[in-house]
């Protein structure tokens, strides 16, 4: 296309819904062009248009007897077809699965969705190289500006990361003469506002501080100052497991790491906590190669009411999600064990077991695709992978303690 602005096409027979989508698109991509098309007048596409004219297409699942699924299949057969987000009825898993099979790059349930969630979905469909740069707020493009947060008794070294809910800093605890990580909730909500994010942030400290284990991050302090809540925790200069995997991990090292993570999970589960976001980036390394689980922002107590997530809401990272978590079902400690199975596979092969062009397609594979075979020289660990990544939770180790025992047997084989 000659224009550098994003071009979106919305195919839906409900004008109000097309307007809602267009509002969110133009709010995030200010210079974008949104074509709102009512297909009930005849063609599924505007007169004279071809799919390649657009950067992204939103396609409804049905209108006046016409099946959007058939249109989806037809569009995907055309040359240079852009990503398509298929709009489905809320909670209709059968249509979701069929859309992914037909080539949809992602699906959008036709129900209320927050702006940030919607933007994340669009960025994922576009691809990070096309969606993120234009969507980045102006004040976040220059990431080297000086952070303003200060904490008594601590010297600011640098900002490590910033997300929608929190910002993470590296600081020096001047009294203890040690470097620490300080995680700061950027805004404490007023009493009458929605408190979900703030409650999750405080819950993270509550969950972690109740656990004393060498493979769980150490928490040193928590507090509320002015309009900020903060957590002071252990710093890991050696980096995360993700970077370690890139350098290559031997089977014995992978088993040793798995044993440490299983031991940490056993301790976490014993106090009634599920992690729900296990991935290599949330496993940090000390200089002595011991590991620690971090980032309990998605954790939840197994026996606590009310639950902070709505029924059917999906949290976590699709590459490491259990089938039940990916489909918004009930999760228990066996879901964390599945995630460890994915991490173990990645440690052995440097590859994720399931990859696809969209988050929904990855989630579909977790629920339906066969577990990939390990290379021949690693095939002795296929049985352990198969147990940890079983589709049915009843076929997995039923506890982290049971998994730890299996791993110990594997370590004996390596010694």
**% of the chain exceeding 90 in pLDDT:** 39
From residue 83, alpha-carbon distances to 52, 58, 105, 121, 317 in Å are 10, 9, 6, 12, 21
For 131-164, give the DSSP string: HHHHHS-HHHH-TTSPP----TTEEEEEEEEE-S
Q: 360 preceded by cis ω (within 30°)?
A: no
Q: Is 277 a catalytic residue?
A: yes
Residue 78, pLDDT > 60, answer yes
**Cβ distance 312 to 355 under 8 Å?**
no
Q: How far apart, in whole angstroms, are the C-alpha atoms of residue 321 and residue 353? A: 12
Q: 54-75 pLDDT, tens per residue?
A: 999 999 999 988 899 999 999 9
User: H/E element holding 94?
Assistant: helix 93-101
Catalytic annotation, pick one of 12, 55, 277, 336: 277
Q: How far apart, in whole angstroms, are the C-alpha atoms of residue 375 and residue 380? A: 10
Helix boundaries (H) for 322-414: 323-326, 333-349, 359-368, 382-388, 400-414
**% of the chain exceeding 70 in pLDDT:** 81
Q: What is the mean pLDDT of the chain?
A: 81
Q: Is the dihedral of CA 329, 335, 340, 341 positive or negative?
A: negative
Q: 128-181 pLDDT, tens per residue?
A: 333 332 223 333 333 444 456 788 899 998 888 776 567 888 999 999 999 999
In the chain, domain spans: 7-137, 154-234, 241-414
Q: 288-345 pLDDT, tens per residue?
A: 889 999 877 555 545 433 333 333 344 457 889 999 988 878 889 999 999 999 999 9
Q: CATH for 241-414?
A: 1.10.510.10
pLDDT of res. 24: 86
**Cβ distance 174 to 155 under 8 Å?**
yes
Q: What does R_g of the chain's alpha carbons equal in angstroms?
A: 23
Range 103-106, long-range pairs (CB < 8 A, 24+ positions): 103/72, 103/73, 103/76, 104/59, 104/72, 104/358, 104/360, 105/357, 105/358, 105/361, 106/358, 106/359, 106/360, 106/361
Q: How far apart, in whole angstroms, are the C-alpha atoms of residue 93 and residue 232? A: 41
DSSP 329: -
In 83-113, which positions are buried (b, 16+ CB within 10 angstroms) versus exposed (e)?
bbbbbbeeeeeebbbbbbebbbbbbbebeee
120 Cβ contact list (under 8 Å, min separation 6): none
Q: CATH for 154-234?
A: 3.30.200.20
Q: How far apart, in whole angstroms, are the C-alpha atoms of residue 261 and residue 149? A: 33
**Cβ distance 233 to 180 under 8 Å?**
yes
Q: CATH for 7-137?
A: 3.40.50.2300
Q: Name the pLDDT band for 395 (thresholds 50, 70, 90).
A: very high
């Amino acid at each position: 296309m000659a224009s550098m602005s994003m071009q979106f096409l919305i195919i839906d027979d409900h004008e109000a819904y097309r307007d809602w989508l267009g509002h969110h698109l133009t709010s995030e991509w200010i210079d974008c062009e949104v074509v709102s098309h009512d297909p009930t007048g005849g063609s599924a596409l505007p007169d004279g248009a071809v799919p390649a004219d657009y950067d992204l297409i939103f396609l409804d699942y049905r209108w006046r007897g016409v099946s959007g699924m058939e249109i989806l299949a037809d569009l995907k057969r055309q040359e240079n077809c852009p990503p398509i987000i298929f709009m489905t009825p809320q909670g209709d898993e059968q249509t979701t699965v069929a859309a992914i099979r037909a080539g949809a790059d992602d699906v959008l349930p036709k129900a209320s969705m927050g702006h940030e969630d919607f933007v994340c979905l669009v960025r994922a469909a576009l691809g990070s190289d096309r969606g993120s740069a234009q969507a980045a707020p102006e004040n976040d493009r220059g990431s080297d500006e000086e952070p303003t947060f200060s904490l008594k008794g601590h010297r600011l070294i640098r900002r490590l990361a910033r997300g929608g809910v929190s910002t993470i800093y590296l600081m020096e605890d001047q009294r203890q003469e040690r470097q620490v990580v300080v995680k700061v909730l950027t805004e404490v909500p007023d009493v009458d506002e929605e408190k979900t994010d703030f409650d999750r942030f405080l819950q993270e400290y509550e969950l972690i501080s109740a656990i004393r284990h060498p493979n769980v991050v150490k928490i040193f302090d928590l507090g509320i100052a002015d309009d900020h809540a903060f957590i002071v925790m252990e710093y890991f200069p050696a980096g995360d497991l993700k970077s370690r995997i890139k350098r290559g991990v031997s089977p014995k090292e992978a088993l040793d790491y798995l044993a440490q993570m299983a031991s940490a999970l056993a301790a976490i589960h014993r106090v009634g906590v599920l992690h729900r976001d296990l991935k290599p980036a949330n496993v940090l390394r000390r200089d002595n190669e011991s590991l620690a689980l971090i980032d309990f922002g998605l954790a939840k107590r197994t026996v606590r009411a009310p639950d902070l997530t709505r029924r059917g809401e999906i949290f976590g990272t699709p590459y490491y999600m259990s089938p039940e978590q990916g489909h918004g079902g009930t999760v228990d400690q066996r879901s964390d064990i599945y995630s460890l199975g994915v991490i173990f596979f990645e440690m052995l092969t440097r590859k994720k077991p399931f990859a696809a062009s969209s988050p929904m397609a990855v989630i579909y594979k977790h629920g339906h695709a066969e577990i990939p075979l390990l290379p021949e020289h690693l095939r002795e660990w296929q049985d352990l992978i198969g147990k940890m990544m079983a589709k049915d939770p009843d076929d997995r180790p039923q506890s982290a303690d049971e998994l730890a025992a299996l791993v110990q047997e594997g370590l004996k084989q390596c010694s």
